[in-house]
Structure 1
Amino acid sequence: MADYLLESLGLLLRWLHIVAAIAWIGESFYFVMLDRSLKPAADGDAAIAGEQWSVHGGGFYRKQKLVGAPAQMPADLHWSKWKAYTTWLSGFALLSLLYLSSPQMYLVDPGVNALGSDQAVLAAIALMVLAWLGYDLLCRLCGFREGLLGALVALWVIGLCLACTGLFAGRAAYLLVGAALGTIMAANVFFVIIPGQRRMVAALGRGEAVDPVPGLRGKQRSVHNTYFTLPVVFAMLSVHYATAYAHPHNAWVLILFMAAAALIRQFFVVWHSGKRAWGLLGVGSAILLATFAWLAPTRNATSAVTPNSAVAAPMHATELPAADTAEIQKIMKLHCTACHSAQPSLMASAPKDLRLDEAQQIERHAALIRRQVVDLRIMPPGNITSLSEAERLQIARWADTLAVDPAFK
């Protein structure tokens, strides 16, 4: 029952996190679009910095941006904050429920680092805090020198990618990079954007002149957030794409995907200004295609694993031990059925409903088992059950033989 309740809580948190993120990102994208597409006021009103007419849902809308502050503050003023806070809080709760509560399974990879469980949890939390502090320091030191700041922030993100993939298991590393950038985005809202707006509103309420600097800082951080958005979304989704996070150069795979995402986001930002920077879209797309080509699996005739494996251990086919399905079933029972069975002991239900406690199921999923266990080496997670190299090689030989001769059992 406890496993069922935890799994159900995880589903609810995922749902909340995704819904809140959609709302936050959607609102952020909308305001970037609006700000970039404003045109001079049709009536020539000098108090209007720009306006946009649009039609949606059977109605016409006229949005206007003021040059300064309104002469009288409206009683009902919309604040864009709770979507950001809800996204971060639900995301951290989900991270804690899944990854931080089971570090030996998700965070630690003996082939990557020698962190203990407690050390891995502390390092994951410290990473998110330090990601924000380092980024915020760069912004304060550089001020409004946008070119320099942009270059330094890009280097900071590259450093986060390298640090995470050097400290944590690949899947957790990608997720934690996304969490670190998400923390920066939410902290921008909480510590910079909203406080700056509150100071502006308070000054207006006192009848004082508004200091423009908080507004400029808020807009700067808001612009940064829009460029972080697509890289963060990729980092979160990539936990379902083992080919990327299991690659021996997974840090640079992540960096390339994030660079492509930022370029594609810039294409749309420029589009909203009425320009068509097709070069940005072309370069971003080229980076994506080149990265996918780099990730494409290869397997030579004498190797038990792909060259992309993080711990490739070439072995000639004649050196591989023979194995039949009955032997593989024993390996599955020892190392895999705690999760992948009709009644798993480590969780409420088998992930993806993949059950490896029956010979027929094992044979049906032979290619998947080989790829996950031998080629990508992501199963068992963190090698928590200590699957040996000899056992991996048995699985490789069995799966390859079964693929060539389906009658082989």
Structure 2
Amino acid sequence: MVAYILDWLSLAVRWLHLLAAIAWIGSSLKYVWIDNNLRKPPQWKADKGIKGDVWVIHGGGIYEFQKYNVAPEKMPDVLHWVKWESYTTWLSGFLLISVVYYSQASSYLMVSDGIISSPWMAVAAGLGFLASIVGLYEILIRTPLVKSGPLFACAMALLLLVASYIAFHLFAPRAAALHMGAAIGSIMSGNVFFGIVPAQKAFLKAIENGQPPPQARAEFAKLRSTHNNYFTLPVIMLMISNHYPVVYSHAWGWLLVVAIGVISAYARHYFNLRNQGKSKPHILVVVAIAAVLLITLARVTSSTVALSDAANTVTDEQMMAVVSSHCSSCHAVVPTQPGFVAPPAGIVLANAEQVRAVSDRIMTVAVQSQYMPLGNMTGMTLEERQTLGAWLQRQ
């Protein structure tokens, strides 16, 4: 009954998290796009304090966006705040990681031979990891490094690389990749909570009191917003990474997730520059080459299990003995593994025919990457993986 309720709760929270993230990231991308596309306004607008404007046709109508140097002569009666999308995304994301990973730490968060020996320690490590990354970012953004975009980007890449290495040695690979995504998402939401919204409140208070707005604080808030823009593509990749063991289950998974993040952030840089009227297509060439090299390197360096030369000697009975011991408790019509009310991905492995139908997938996640069973909770040995792989070889 508990597993059944957790499944529905996970679905509801994941749905909310996805909707909130679409609203937040879409809003973030939109406003950065507007900022980058602002053009010098006509003089009559400049006389009213308008810094720039951009015109858009959408939904059967023409829209005008304009940005003031400070504020309009008369403040509007209704001023919309773009913040609840961020808060809802973070809160629903934290609830989701709690429902899926923290409430089922022994199944999803821990590895059987890892350095963390109990579920409560794993949960504490997860919470500490997220808080530490946000704290280190908040320290880093207050250093002189922030004055140089390239230097700060390098510092962030190094921080995330170290964080990823730690995460992949603390948690199960899939949980490690998700925690990297959660850490970056927490940084982004922290930018809104700790920097952007307080700066906006100070801005409005100064206007209400007839004082010059704190320009330095407003520019710092804009910098945080720009950082969020570059984090957008990496965080999306990390949040869907749980579907791709080819990344997180690699022996160098901790390096792959950061490398993909850096490449995607650099691709984002191209579009930001283009929206400012600066075309640098060589960035996309570099991105494409780097992506191909990374994929090739990941393939060449992937860890593999040496398969038996006597593949034809492995019988269906031997193979099913391995599957029954290590796979069928989850991949059954009615799973017996606690925490599961339905077979993962709808895959049932009750007989040889069903195993043959998904043999390529099993070869990837159970034999080559050794990701399954989750956290190797059943203690699947290398010899058993070789037996299973030898049988799959001839299918």
1:74-153 maps to which residues of 2 (within 5 A)?
A: 74-110=76-112, 113-142=115-144, 145-147=147-149, 148-153=151-156
TM-score (norm 1): 0.90
1:2-17 maps to which residues of 2 (within 5 A)?
A: 2-17=2-17
- Are positions 1:245 and 2:241 aligned together? no
Separation in 2, partners of 1:30, 1:96 = 30
Separation in 2, partners of 1:248, 1:167 = 14
**Which position in structure 2 is the counterpart of 1:342?**
333
- Are positions 1:317 and 2:317 aligned together? no
- Are positions 1:198 and 2:201 aligned together? yes
1:112–1:308 Cα change, 3 Å:
farther
Q: CA deviation at 1:315?
A: 6.2
Matched residue SS, 2:200: helix
The partner residue of 1:392 within 370, 378, 385 is 385
Separation in 2, partners of 1:102, 1:222 = 35
Separation in 2, partners of 1:315, 1:80 = 55
Is the 1:323–1:397 contact (alpha carbons within 8 Å) kept by the matching residues of 2? Answer: yes
Letter in 1 for 2:351: E
Q: Any stretches of 5+ residues in structure 2 without a counterpart?
A: none
Q: CA deviation at 1:58?
A: 1.6
1:268-296 alpha-carbon deviations (Å, 9 max, x no partner): 11111122111111111211111112233
Q: Which protein, 1 or 2, shows the higher relative CO under an 8 Å CA cutoff with sep ≥ 6?
A: 2
1:372-409 alpha-carbon deviations (Å, 9 max, x no partner): 211110110000111122221211121123x2xxxxxx
Is the 2:305–2:367 contact (alpha carbons within 8 Å) kept by the matching residues of 1? Answer: no
1:157-205 alpha-carbon deviations (Å, 9 max, x no partner): 2222222122222111111111000000001101110011011112222
Is the 2:234–2:265 contact (alpha carbons within 8 Å) kept by the matching residues of 1? Answer: yes
Matched residue SS, 1:203: helix
Q: CA deviation at 1:109?
A: 2.3
**Which position in structure 2 is the counterpart of 1:36?**
36
Letter in 1 for 2:349: L
Separation in 2, partners of 1:38, 1:367 = 51
Letter in 1 for 2:362: I
Is the 1:321–1:394 contact (alpha carbons within 8 Å) kept by the matching residues of 2? Answer: no
The partner residue of 2:272 within 257, 265, 269 is 269
1:366-405 maps to which residues of 2 (within 5 A)?
A: 366-401=359-394, 403=395
Moved more, 255-264 or 330-339: 330-339
1:31-84 alpha-carbon deviations (Å, 9 max, x no partner): 111001111112442411101112111211111111112333222001110100
Letter in 2 for 1:344: P
**Which position in structure 2 is the counterpart of 1:63?**
65
**Which position in structure 2 is the counterpart of 1:360?**
353
Is the 1:185–1:228 contact (alpha carbons within 8 Å) kept by the matching residues of 2? Answer: yes
Separation in 1, partners of 2:37, 2:148 = 21
Letter in 1 for 2:356: E
Q: CA deviation at 1:9?
A: 1.4
Q: What is the number of equivalent residue pairs in this alignment?
A: 390
Separation in 2, partners of 1:358, 1:225 = 49
Separation in 2, partners of 1:193, 1:286 = 36
Letter in 2 for 1:17: H
